[in-house]
Structure 1
């Protein structure tokens, strides 16, 4: 039984690793596009500005069209611009408006009043700059975040995207609790459009923006949808291969109709490769958005009845699709909170309690969430996530020490019983596997275990207890943004990435070998071979694992070695049970009146069988013979 359990545990771990490596979300290769991407000029401070609209329609990439949502802005020089009306309230020329706080540097283009840059100043990208959440690959003519779509009027949508909105301020530096930026546009046809953004500078909601929009024409207020342009930037695909890097995808939570079926309150996720040409959810939605491995952009309708359409979007220069969504809103309705920032547990909860569901901890979330909270609590004292992982590992091993100690004691009993077990197996060695007498051998072995209080499966209990924690740690280190770029000591500068020098995985493998040498040896040769192979397999797998996970496993092995040495010192050396050889048992049985053909019995049975009494040849017998002779 112990062998089967070990094999099952080993194969389960191997399947998990291989699934994360090869079956997890992977980039979808698109067919090469003949259109050359537009080169976007750089503005001061490294902010990317949208390329100016040119007069030739073929100079800009073709606009992205989301099915059922109406066309996006047409390139300049199109028939829509030629037929445009005289502006009444407008800006004189295209320009950018910068909003900056301690946490964010946002750039809005007055053309369309759309977001063209959202940089997180507290997070670095792969080249040392601030993380950019508006994909820089978005080209002119494609949808940008906070675009407005009039579903029944593509021409009006194009006019809004090309309109030069007049901003209420040229630059906002957030120092107070909040500040407001308003964009307005009006032309001679009676079209009036207004977008209002409210920014917060508070520490608990630095990534929340309040958004309202309205569009009216001579016919009255127009129905609107907010479009979030293609997904998010800030995805880091390099580093650890074992740590699954989630590509941009759709995420929403609420009670929604999906393809006409009412679902219960639940979280919905979809990668671009799994999305239909257009996927619609409608109902009471708590939040809708797009996310990637570490970041999230989500609008919070607050369980209002609404509808959202998700669509995959191909972007020139990327080898995988992005995701855009159109969210239906009430014209001139209440302010919609929009979260654009990191998947930090506290920040998400401050924005909305249900927003923490956007963090995908997988099926082990019941273990991952307490681990996450405990790790953050320890970090509050030590200020280093590497040492926090070590202290948390010590705490976990202290809690499971009784189980580990019981396992060692049971394995020691199993080692002491090896001579008797081998003797039982030797007596039945010549029997076929189908022989009914084999069942009796199993019964004798189980009776031996019961008599001495040994459990053959107890040796696996610590491994079975720690495996879910190992998987949970793996998921935690892959998903927790706190560990993104978190340094430990010396050469380990990012706990979410693999050890660049492979030092810790090799030491971890050596610790597994040393720990196995301290443990009582098992009787099953197959089990021993598996146990000898596991350090090699784990070492190779952990070469690509997040260094934080390797530190956890290495610390756990070190503590296990200490506990094993302590147990061995307390219990002393094993005392194997002595067993007579078959020849000795045969001589004893013949002496007791048995025969060579009698059924073999164990030493315990022989001890319990009383010897047959020998015939008495006392004085009475001699007297009888003397009397008869006389």
Structure 2
């Protein structure tokens, strides 16, 4: 009906203009009949259109009611887990604070980088093919309407905007946990436009050093249990992820922002953004180029998705639908690492309520369980020590023989006959220790990844078991735990019999504690605590072994033949 009224009004206006032109500007014709076109128009039947209205204006697109906010306002959605601040300017997220966590500077943890987003755009910004329209919609004033309260979730927040031709609607529904449901639509000319929702400016704890951010900032996408991660520092070009897609988003070491599309046809893109920090002096010149995530709907329908924004806590992730616990990747030895982690959490929850002491107790249990293997390794080392003079005599016999000389084969044959004669397995000391390596790597993953150890204290100066031990009593870092660990390794070395008679290998073994100390200088203090505890247990075990299993008498080497 509105379209018909506009057409009739156009005809009426055209006819009125024609009559006014005739009255004021056209002279009266002579009385005789005339064949001029203007008199012909006057004598047309009433059912025909006037000549001036023969080319009407094209039909206009449907006019939408204008919906626009009057001023920039903040709308806060808050519960005991988070505080999310939306702005009616663009209907975007300005802050996403996780209330139970602190950043590296002990401030409330905000997953949105204000400085970067101020230049690159804020989370929940829109992107469509028309860049000018995208900019307009991301800077427009929306009308925000919240319903519900934190005490009675869900909390629904609806943003609306229309300039008369384009209509935008964003609806966010927050549940009890860290997840929300969202629906976004852009309508123009009576049709849905393809639209993308973006999270620009990076994600995670932005108070960390740039090198750490670059190490742990990731894009992630794929199917449940089969995720692909892309490190921020390795993302050299934009990457589009083909459908179908179960989840996609951004993560760092401890937190994740994950889109879960309602439709498998929705698209996902990852990209890098560049920006210049406010401190133009170059102080922050190594600021990382943040990663941007874009979830899109290419069909003519609203973009609908669920989103998880929160900690990578296994219990929290398992409670999601679908479960997101695959975001915590324990690596190749997950079969070992996961039970170790669950054991650590159990000890913390039911026994000591301190993750430092939980690490100590779990290390004791592991070492007691592995003691039979260690005992076998020590017995093998003692046997090797017993026949060391015989081994050395064979090595001296062939010491001048070149490596590629066939006589070297005879030396190896004599060595094997010696092992067989005395019932010694040359790998007997290595194999039991090698079986412990999966536990070592598994414990490394347990102490490196889970958020449970983030900012978890132990005693005195150890305030964060996930960070290196850097005690500052004199104004410079003093790594107490790594230093004590190196000393304990030297003690163990002195108490444990050497399995080799080769002087070069013995010298290398003597330097191993120093090498480990350098390696562990920047490792998480929780991991160093594990090694230190294991060494102290090893020293105690070695004392008992030396007391009750004394070193056997060495077999004397045969007398050298006289020339």
Please report the TM-score for the alignment, with normalisation by the length of structure 1: 0.71
Unaligned runs of 5+ in 1: 1-84, 256-264, 587-595, 597-630
**Does 2:138 match 1:138?**
no
Name the residue aligned to 1:528. 506
Deviation at 1:428, TM superposition (A): 4.6
Q: Which residue of 2 aligns with 1:372?
A: 341
Q: Where does residue 410 of structure 1 map in the other structure?
A: 380
Q: Contact 1:212–1:335 (CA<8 Å) still a contact in 2?
A: yes
- What is the CA-CA distance between 1:485 and the residue it aligns to? 0.6
Q: Say whether residues 1:506 and 2:460 are aligned partners.
A: no
Task: Report the Cα distance in structure 2 between the residues aligned to 1:495 and 1:424, rounded to whole angstroms.
Answer: 50
> Could you tell me which residue of structure 2 aligns to residue 218 of structure 1?
189
Residues 202-281 of structure 1: pairs in structure 2 closer than 5 A: 206-235=177-206, 237-238=208-209, 246-254=215-223, 266-281=226-241
| Residue aligning to 2:327 | 358
Q: What's the offset of the Cα at 1:86? A: 9.9
Q: Which sits farther off after the overlay, 425-434 or 466-475?
A: 425-434
Deviates more, 1:484-493 or 1:434-443: 434-443
Measured in 2, the distance between the counterparts of 1:232 and 1:244 equals 9
Q: How does 1:583-594 map to 2 (within 5 A)?
A: none
The counterpart of 2:307, out of the listed 294, 313, 338, is 338
- How many Å separate the matches in 2 of 1:535 and 1:244? 31
| 1:197 is aligned to 2:172 | yes
Matched residue SS, 2:126: strand
Are the equivalent residues in 1 in contact too, given 2:259–2:307 (CA < 8 A)? Answer: yes
Higher RCO structure, 1 or 2 (CA under 8 Å, sep 6+): 1
User: Which of 240, 248, 271 is the matching residue for 1:311?
Assistant: 271
Q: Deviations over 1:372-431 (max 9, x none)?
A: 232222222221111121122122222322211111001111111123323444455565
| Pair 1:247–1:350, CA change in 2 (3 A) | same
How many residues are matched?
483
Any idea what the Cα deviations from partners look like across 1:579-598, whole Å, max 9, x if unmatched? 45336xx7xxxxxxxxx8xx
> What is the TM-score normalised by the length of structure 2?
0.79
Task: Write the deviation string for residues 41-73 of structure 1: whole angstroms up to 9, x where unpaired.
Answer: xxxxxxxxxxxxxxxxxxxxxxxxxxxxxxxxx
1:625 aligns with none
Asked if structure 2 preserves the Cα contact closer than 8 Å seen for 1:290 and 1:297, the reply is yes
> Could you tell me whether the CA contact under 8 Å between 2:272 and 2:289 is conserved in 1?
yes
Tell me how far apart the structure 1 counterparts of residues 521 and 558 of structure 2 sit (CA, whole Å): 50
Aligned to 1:294: 254
C-alpha spacing 1:523/1:353, structure 2 compared with 1 (3 Å): farther
Distance in 2 (alpha carbons) for counterparts of 1:132 and 1:358? 20
1:304, distance to aligned residue in structure 2 (A):
1.1
Q: Give the C-alpha shift of residue 453 in structure 1.
A: 2.0
Say whether the 8 Å CA contact 1:231–1:291 is kept in structure 2.
Answer: no
Three-state SS of the structure 2 residue aligned to 1:539 is helix
In the aligned structure 2, how far is the partner of 1:400 from the partner of 1:303? 50
Q: Deviations over 1:481-531 (max 9, x none)?
A: 111111111110001111113111111111111111111133121221111
Q: Which consecutive unaligned segments of at least 5 residues does structure 2 have?
A: 1-62, 278-283, 472-478
1:518 aligns with 2:518: no
Deviation digits for residues 148-181 of structure 1 (CA, Å, limit 9, x no counterpart): 2333x33432332232221223x97512242211
For 1:157 and 1:379, how far apart are their aligned partners in 2?
50
CA contact (8 A) 2:232 2:291 kept: yes
Q: From the superposition, tell whether residues 527 and 353 of structure 1 become closer, same or farther in structure 2 (CA, over 3 Å).
A: farther
Equivalent residues in 2 for 1:71-86 (5 A)?
none
Please report the RMSD computed on the Cα atoms of aligned residues, expressed in angstroms: 2.8
CA contact (8 A) 2:271 2:292 kept: yes
Quick one: which of 167, 176, 179 aligns to 2:155? Answer: 179
**In structure 1, what is the Cα distance between the partners aligned to 2:232 and 2:289?**
6
> 1:280, 1:306 → 2: CA distance?
11
The residue number in structure 1 matching 2:243 is 283
Distance 1:116 1:478, change over 3 A: same
CA offsets 1:297-343 (integer angstroms, 9 cap, x no match): 11101671221122211133162211112212366558521011111
Distance 2:254 2:215 in 1: 8
Counterpart among 413, 418, 434 of residue 448 in structure 1 = 418
